Chain A
């Protein structure tokens, strides 16, 4: 780890609201996307001629397409309820990271061009022209928002800054200003089928390597099937699960659960990515195009169920948007959605989260665990923002908080929650969500992790917690990289199904048992 070029916040034991420090994170800017990256996902390669009018026209278009944006632009009263709720404000003190001020970057332009008061009395109502300088501010601060929706919980009108950030990014993309990290990955997903750009043969290699590893470790022939037609379940998981640590440990966990349950399942080469960065940039078209891969794979493989691996924003897209975007769900009445939905088993939710899947099996007594195998771990659980505030698990509101915790408690003895106000719907983002998981934004990632680190540190000190359990690929990558800045070891980070993998008891076939005994001799 290179020495930090910025001051890492000190942990104090409390989540303090900082004093306003204007411009504190104005210098933090992610690398812009190159021309080819932009063009690959349908946007102009550089700042277009007449960008001002095109930006305003796009804003008008979005105001007509999204009720959220239209209402949110009008309804804010500047009450201040959200001002201390954003982890990036808490970490930096930059007032433009207060949700209301982030919205104001756009609202000021909205007022100028779309309201009577702003047209005739701009300074009175804080209306502003969209100058190049303001456009640059948009780029800086709309990429210092992780679209975690924490502010939307606390706004008396439910104003969701994520919606504004998404609109801001789409307007920026439309006039030719994109972010390298997100848009490059978006292109890879369209071109190859996953965010890592992992082609089919490489994926096949990886999976058979994992099968060998599991066999060597357990003596059980757990399979990770790829493109298996006629399987009951299609598993769609973030591609980081195939390659990154600790993500892959959870993938092993899913495979073991499927094996123990005796259910035929498969991964897909063409739908080898649950993540969908189309949401991050507010691009309905890109989001739909990426999600269509899952529909197509499900139809092609003839699966009855679709299960989604540990990934926060992917679960929001899957749970909340897939039915809309691609018909993955139930209750469709049009030919397009029926084509798929008649194939899907109506007895199971579509899509289903891997935690819901495992939890159901635990409830039915179909999985056996030795909880003591996790006794070296004292565990806490971080609610991922998109799961907590943009989706659900199970059949009751708040199931997304209960089910992962119940899974953890079924496989481990030592569990402690972090403090109130930092979990459940009030959870803090890891600091790397929403398209910010890039090294060029390391400063804002480290500072944005501050409130979560405070809460984590408190359970480390008071309860000897040594494991931060996650259900999100971005959280895993972010914390692995960022917690060392706060003095923790990166091995403290892992997945919920990593814990499942540790404790699950699989039946060793007799042949293998004898073989391994023989080899022990």
Chain B
């Protein structure tokens, strides 16, 4: 067993642990923090079904962003859909036999890599070209785009420029999942690709990538508009209420 294999295996175990534990704690915080007041951005759905539909449109179509700015929507949507296809395609390296729908997505996933990088490029260009977006961009915003583009380019490089030993990579990944380490090819492009992915996993729960779980907890989007028909009260507000009552009784 080469040192490289052990190193990368450890790296992925650590990155996965940080991703899962970090997200678990963040999501737990979101779930446990009360939303004391009804604040859906209206017009809002008046039923739970309506809220599910609104959230589905938000997550699958980026509805609000579409209303806001067609360029950001175009680049952002291109990137996210392409990323989804790419991730689906990558499932083939983690499953044996490969699920049929992963096979179906394969031809789309292959070229989605280009769309992904193009979308990211558009988003990055805005950070330089639009003065308002330039003003709000932090170094981490640029680095995040650089990281994602680098992941995309190294991936495309292995598929379209210099093939890596993908059979061996798959053996490594399958082994990784059952704690049975298999040798990882020492292909530099592959190693960079994998390192960057592990980095992305690591920073996910401590960065703006939290927008992914965050949107599901956003009260302006996930609340039903029914405050006149149902009394909505959080625990701390209820305590305040009983306190106020006993004060006025006294």
Point out residues on A near B: beta carbons under 8 Å: 17, 19-20, 22, 63-68, 70-72, 74-85, 95, 98, 100-101, 104, 115-117, 123-126, 149, 152-160, 163, 284-285, 288-289, 292, 319-321, 323-324, 327, 329-334, 336-337, 349-351, 388-392, 395-398, 400-401, 425
Contact of A160 among B41, B44, B140, B231 (CB under 8 A): B41
A65–B43 touching, CB < 8 Å: no
Residues in A with CB closer than 8 Å to B139 are 123-126
Residues in B with CB closer than 8 Å to A84 are 69, 132
Most interface-central of A75, A82, A292, A336 (chain B CB within 10 A):
A75
A400–B43 touching, CB < 8 Å: yes
Closest A-B pairs by Cβ, 7 of them? A75-B214, A154-B68, A158-B220, A126-B138, A397-B43, A80-B133, A83-B132
A391–B42 touching, CB < 8 Å: yes
Contact of B229 among A78, A95, A330, A400 (CB under 8 A): A330
Q: Compute how far the CA of A327 lies from the CA of B242 in the bound complex, rounded to whole angstroms.
A: 13
Q: Compute how far the CA of A330 lies from the CA of B232 in the bound complex, rounded to whole angstroms.
A: 11
Say yes or no: is B121 at the interface (Cβ < 8 Å to chain A).
Answer: no
Q: Which residue of A lies closest to B65 (CB)?
A: A156
Q: Compute how far the CA of A339 lies from the CA of B137 in the bound complex, rounded to whole angstroms.
A: 53
Q: Which residue of A lies closest to B46 (CB)?
A: A397
A158–B208 touching, CB < 8 Å: no
Q: Compute how far the CA of A8 lies from the CA of B44 in the bound complex, rounded to whole angstroms.
A: 36
- What bracket does the count of chain B residues touching chain A fall in? 35 or more
Q: Between A and B, how many residue pairs show CB distances below 8 Å?
A: 232
A397–B245 touching, CB < 8 Å: no
Residues in A with CB closer than 8 Å to B26 are 74
Q: Which residue of B lies closest to A321 (CB)?
A: B37
5 residue pairs bridging A and B, Cβ less than 8 Å apart: A95-B132, A155-B68, A157-B211, A324-B227, A390-B39
Q: Compute how far the CA of A84 lies from the CA of B126 in the bound complex, rounded to whole angstroms.
A: 14
Which residues from 35 to 53 on chain B have a C-beta closer than 8 Å to any C-beta of chain A? 35-39, 41-46, 50
Which one of B166-174, B178-186, B233-241 is at the interface? B233-241
Residues in A with CB closer than 8 Å to B37 are 284, 320-321, 324
Contact of B140 among A100, A125, A395 (CB under 8 A): A125
Residues in B with CB closer than 8 Å to A391 are 42
Q: Compute how far the CA of A395 lies from the CA of B46 in the bound complex, rounded to whole angstroms.
A: 9
B135–A66 touching, CB < 8 Å: no
- Least CB distance, A111 to chain B, in whole angstroms: 10
- Least CB distance, B202 to chain A, in whole angstroms: 11
A101–B64 touching, CB < 8 Å: no
Q: Compute how far the CA of A80 lies from the CA of B67 in the bound complex, rounded to whole angstroms.
A: 13
Residues in B with CB closer than 8 Å to A100 are 136
Residues in A with CB closer than 8 Å to B214 are 71, 74-75, 157
Say yes or no: is B143 at the interface (Cβ < 8 Å to chain A).
Answer: yes
Q: Which residue of A lies closest to B123 (CB)?
A: A79
Contact of B136 among A64, A68, A104, A320 (CB under 8 A): A104
A324–B211 touching, CB < 8 Å: no
Contacts known (A157-B218, A158-B218, A392-B43); A80 close to B126, Cβ less than 8 A: yes
B141–A320 touching, CB < 8 Å: no
A331–B135 touching, CB < 8 Å: no
Point out residues on B near A: beta carbons under 8 Å: 26, 29-30, 33-39, 41-46, 50, 58, 62, 64-65, 67-69, 72, 76, 123, 126, 130-133, 135-141, 143, 203, 206-208, 210-211, 214-215, 217-221, 225, 227-233, 236-238, 240-241, 244-245
B231–A331 touching, CB < 8 Å: yes
Q: Compute how far the CA of A70 lies from the CA of B210 in the bound complex, rounded to whole angstroms.
A: 11
- Least CB distance, A89 to chain B, in whole angstroms: 8
Q: Which residue of B lies closest to A351 (CB)?
A: B228
Residues in B with CB closer than 8 Å to A163 are 39
Q: Which residue of A lies closest to B63 (CB)?
A: A156
B135–A20 touching, CB < 8 Å: yes
Contact of B138 among A70, A125, A154, A395 (CB under 8 A): A125
- Least CB distance, B116 to chain A, in whole angstroms: 16
- Least CB distance, A192 to chain B, in whole angstroms: 19
B130–A329 touching, CB < 8 Å: no
- Least CB distance, B213 to chain A, in whole angstroms: 9
Q: Compute how far the CA of A83 lies from the CA of B69 in the bound complex, rounded to whole angstroms.
A: 10
- Least CB distance, A418 to chain B, in whole angstroms: 18
Contacts known (A83-B133, A156-B64, A392-B43); A71 close to B218, Cβ less than 8 A: yes
Q: Compute how far the CA of A68 lies from the CA of B50 in the bound complex, rounded to whole angstroms.
A: 20
Residues in A with CB closer than 8 Å to B221 are 157-158
Contacts known (A320-B227, A324-B227); A398 close to B43, Cβ less than 8 A: yes
Contacts known (A71-B30, A158-B41, A323-B232); A95 close to B135, Cβ less than 8 A: yes
Q: Compute how far the CA of A141 lies from the CA of B221 in the bound complex, rounded to whole angstroms.
A: 26
Q: Compute how far the CA of A463 lies from the CA of B230 in the bound complex, rounded to whole angstroms.
A: 43
B231–A75 touching, CB < 8 Å: no
Q: Compute how far the CA of A64 lies from the CA of B64 in the bound complex, rounded to whole angstroms.
A: 27
- Least CB distance, A324 to chain B, in whole angstroms: 5
- Least CB distance, A202 to chain B, in whole angstroms: 27
Residues in B with CB closer than 8 Å to A125 are 138-140, 207
